[in-house]
Amino acid sequence: MDVKSYNISELAQEFNVSTRTIRYYEELGILNPQRSVSGQRVYVKKDRVRLRLLKLRR
C-alpha cells in the first residue's frame, strides 16, 4: 500500500501559508512530520487534515 506524502513546500502552497507557519505548528505539537533519510520533513494525510481543520477555525 502506497501512502501519499507531501513536503513542506507542497503543504504551504496548498493551504496558502508560509513554510514558517507550518514549522510553527510543528513546534506547538500540532503537526508531527516524519523525517526522510536526508532529514527532510515528510507529511502524510493526517497532517493535511489537521491543517485543513486549522484553516477552518480561522
CATH number at residue 25: 1.10.1660.10
Q: Can you give the pLDDT at residue 56?
A: 83
Q: Would residue 1 count as lying in a domain?
A: no
Q: Would residue 2 count as lying in a domain?
A: no
Mean pLDDT, 10 residues at a time, over the chain (58 residues)?
86 95 95 93 94 85
Q: Can you give the pLDDT at residue 55?
A: 86
Q: Would residue 25 count as lying in a domain?
A: yes
Q: Can you give the pLDDT at residue 3?
A: 78
Which domain covers residue 34, as residue numbers?
A: 8-57
Q: Can you give the pLDDT at residue 57?
A: 77
Q: Would residue 3 count as lying in a domain?
A: no
Query: Residue 37 to residues 1, 9, 18: CA-CA distances in angstroms?
Result: 20, 18, 24
